[in-house]
Structure 1
Amino acid sequence: MIKKLTGALSLTLMATTAMAGGLERSNQSVGIIFESGDYAEFSFGIVRPNVTGTQSLGGAPSGDMAGDYSPVAFGLKMDVTEDVSVALVVDSPYGGDVSYPTGTGYALAGTTADVNSQALTAIARYQMNENFSAYAGVRTQRVDGDVAITGGYTLDVSQGSGTGYLVGAAYEIPEIALRASLTYNSAIDHTQSVTESGVGTYNLSFKTPKSWHLEAQSGIAEDTLLFGSVRWVNWSDFALTPTGFALANGGASLLSYSNDVTTYTLGVGRRLNDNWSVSVSARHEKAEGGFSGNFGPNDGSTGLTIGARYTQDNITVSGGINYTWLGDTNTVLNAAPLITGSFTNNYAIGAGLKVGVHF
């Protein structure tokens, strides 16, 4: 009975990534490699943030500066032999959609930024015995974006790609649906053509961050499953530092983060009958204090997700909704004299749907 709950953990956890730390929009989970038999899934969702602030000088409002976005992902898993399985995952791990409304009197009114990414991950898993397995893979990322800051500064990052790897291991006790997996994702180096106002076109180097991801689940009672994860991402090593911007701002980066981000998730799933399962989970990123960047004005977050899953024969349909409370923060609009933006009582709402087929 407990084993039937194993798949219920995928109750559109994509919705919990609303406004995650840094630019992250996907937790890059390898959960698909643990699906039984041959399997394919497609998922999509929508996230609607509400992020507003107030300028310290004059009290001008920022307006809602964070745009909606719609994550889409596809995965395919196949058994090669009794002991070897492979999977392909297509997703969008990073993104950003910033637009400070015009006409507000806010210092950054009219500033926009757009970041897009696509990733293809190939994973192979070897089952050593009933309890232990190891896996490794290769990930290719494509990233592009553009920034326009009030006052005439622009930066266009042409699409380019980089390649990294992942390695991990898992321990399982199938009789009680217990599984614990630890995955390391490498940093990925990018060198891409950019066009910067006042400078021209040149190659700019940056890297997307490495991470560790611990995921666990276990049956704790008849038809009841406890699950959770801890994800650490090395955002303090990320910096986008265009030449012209750095020269004009004392070597500062256009986009960087002071701290790494650790995300904790804990939830419980319950099988109601042969067709229906439900789950509820909570997610938390702690606040670090200090000033936040103007392209992501929140410090920490706490989210709640409610999901349901319907299974009929070899098809499963999962859906979920998420509400995330975004941590209050201040941003720097001008250094001397110091003018700040105060962002409080902000939130994001997300919803997602996933369709899975065993074949």
Structure 2
Amino acid sequence: MNKLTCTAITLATAGTVANAGGTELTNQSIAVLFEQGNYIEFSFGSVNPSVSGTQVGTIPPAITGSASGDLAEGLEYVGAALKFALTDDIDAAIIVDKPYGAEIVYPMGTGYFAGGSTATLRSTAISAIGRYKFTDNLSAYAGIRQQSLDAEAFIPFVAGWTGSTNTDQSFGYLVGAAYERPELAMRVALTYYSSISHDLETTETSPLGVGNTSIMEVNTPQAINLDFQSGVAPGTLVFGQVRWVDWSEFDISPADYGTLTGGQPLVAYEDDTITYTLGVGRQLTENWALSGFAVYEPGTGGFKSNLFPPDGRTAVGMGVTYTQDNFKLQAGLQHVWFGDGTTQIGGAPAGEFTDNTAVAFGMKAGFTF
């Protein structure tokens, strides 16, 4: 049973696909803290969405019925983590990941009003975490997170507006606690991630001026993860996660863009999201383990952003783990069905997006030393 501990949860997120707004790449897992001894891992993931829709209103010169074409580009990301058992009671870890990212490119020549629009969001986070074990069952952990963020966009249907930011470095934190019963392969971990505030120097070009600069505040959202797992039979583990993200506080509002649109943000979300993951892992042999899982994120309704129109998602996936001595290799594959979404211009429906999907793949290689 011990070989399945943490492994199944890791596999459930190995192919994590974008969550709310298409901007979240990972769920910022701290599972490496619970690996035995000293441990290092390297991870790779790719997300390949297929997102398209149809115009539902006449937005000159585009007309009703125009197809958007596939607007979501594939993304790849890499990560790494290093964990040390400093004493019997104290662990430390460093985690490098890319929590947020997006690459939106509306094709030209389709007749769709947003044709030619592009947007890119990039981030990197480094987390330094310490964990203290009060008993064999109870522990607490906390850490500092340094995050970089930058973005750029071109929105031709808003007077040919373009904007880009510098790369800003800022800090946040995480705190959490875990209860474990090793003899049952049971763990419940609750982790809080603070919001991180970025002051982005933004340069805009539009009819209001060429190269206008201002400082734009962007707060990446606070979040809470509840992770759980428990053995239910010899060699069988049930695992899952409930993740809340405070997306209603996330807002990208360049100054000149807001003036041109009457105060509308470039990207914003009206509601928070809650994502549910549930799965089962099974040890097949001494070296091989298999897991299957399902993910559900309910839609929130209302108009969605033109820069990522789907609303909610349902996904199924599977993962496999191979272990040999101090080496562990994990791979996961996930198929996603996005919920239908409607975009808007000036408060009126603009595009309908239905039957959109994505495929995500992830891989991790870990070594105990």
TM-score range, shorter chain: over 0.9
CA distance in structure 1 between the partners assigned to 2:86 and 2:139 by the alignment: 15
Give the structure 2 partner of residue 301 of structure 1. 313
Q: Say if 1:19 and 1:348, in contact at 8 Å, map to a contact too.
A: no
What is residue 167 of structure 1 aligned with on the other side?
A: 175
CA distance in 1, matches of 2:253, 2:197: 14
Partner of 1:13: 12
Task: Name the TM-score, length of structure 1 as normaliser.
Answer: 0.97
CA distance in 2 between counterparts of 1:226 and 1:243 reads 48
* Secondary structure of residue in 2 paired with 1:207: strand
Q: Following the alignment from structure 2 to structure 1, what is the Cα–Cα distance between the partners of residues 238 and 9?
A: 13
The residue type equivalent to 1:184 in the other structure is: Y
Q: Distance in 1 between the 2:18 and 2:131 partners?
A: 31
Following superposition, the deviation at residue 10 of structure 1 comes to 4.5
* Moved >3 Å (runs of 4+): 10-16
Distance 2:10 2:180 in 1: 21
Partner of residue 89, structure 1: 95
Q: Is residue 327 from structure 1 mapped to residue 339 from structure 2 by the alignment?
A: yes
* Equivalent residue in structure 2 for 1:130, among 121, 125, 136: 136
- Distance (Å, rounded) in 1 between the aligned partners of 2:19 and 2:139: 30
Equivalent residue letter for 1:71: Y
The answer to whether the 8 A contact 2:15-2:362 is kept is no
Cα distance in 2 for partners of 1:118, 1:45 equals: 14
What residue number does 2:235 align with? 223
Any gaps of 5 or more consecutive residues in structure 2?
Answer: 58-63
Would the aligned equivalents of 1:214 and 1:231 in 2 still touch at CA under 8 Å?
Answer: yes
Tell me the residue number matched to 1:196: 204
Determine what percentage of the aligned residue pairs are the same residue.
44
> Is the contact made by 2:44 and 2:79 (CA closer than 8 Å) also made in structure 1?
yes
Partner of 2:112: 106
AA matched with 2:76: S
Q: Note the alpha carbon deviations across 1:246-284, whole angstroms, 9 max, x for none.
A: 122222211100100111000000000100000001011
Q: CA shift at 1:320, angstroms?
A: 1.2
C-alpha deviations, 1:178-226, integer Å up to 9, x for none?
Answer: 0000000001111121101135112211211101110000000010000
Return the alpha-carbon distance in structure 2 between the equivalents of residues 280 and 188 of structure 1: 33
Residue equivalent to 1:37 = 37
Q: 1:74 aligns with which of 74, 80, 85?
A: 80
Measure, in 2, the Cα distance between the counterparts of 1:14 and 1:38: 22
Q: Which residue number corresponds to residue 368 of structure 2? A: 358
Q: Which residue of 304, 309, 314 corresponds with 1:292?
A: 304
Q: CA deviation at 1:7?
A: 3.6
Question: 1:16 deviation in Å?
Answer: 4.4
| C-alpha distance in 2 between matches for 1:285 and 1:104 | 31
Q: Secondary structure at the match of 1:266?
A: strand
Q: 1:333: how far off?
A: 3.7
What is the identity, as a one-letter code, of the residue corresponding to 1:238?
F
Q: Which residue of 2 aligns with 1:234?
A: 246
Check conservation: 2:68, 2:115, Cα contact below 8 A. Answer: yes
Structure 2 length-normalised TM: 0.94
Whole-Å separation in 2 of the counterparts to 1:181 and 1:339: 42
What is the aligned length? 356
Provide the residue aligned with 2:60 in structure 1: none
Deviates more, 1:15-24 or 1:82-91: 15-24
CA distance, structure 2, for counterparts of residue 68 and residue 201 of structure 1: 30
SS in 2 for 1:70: strand
What SS is found at the alignment partner of 1:104?
A: coil
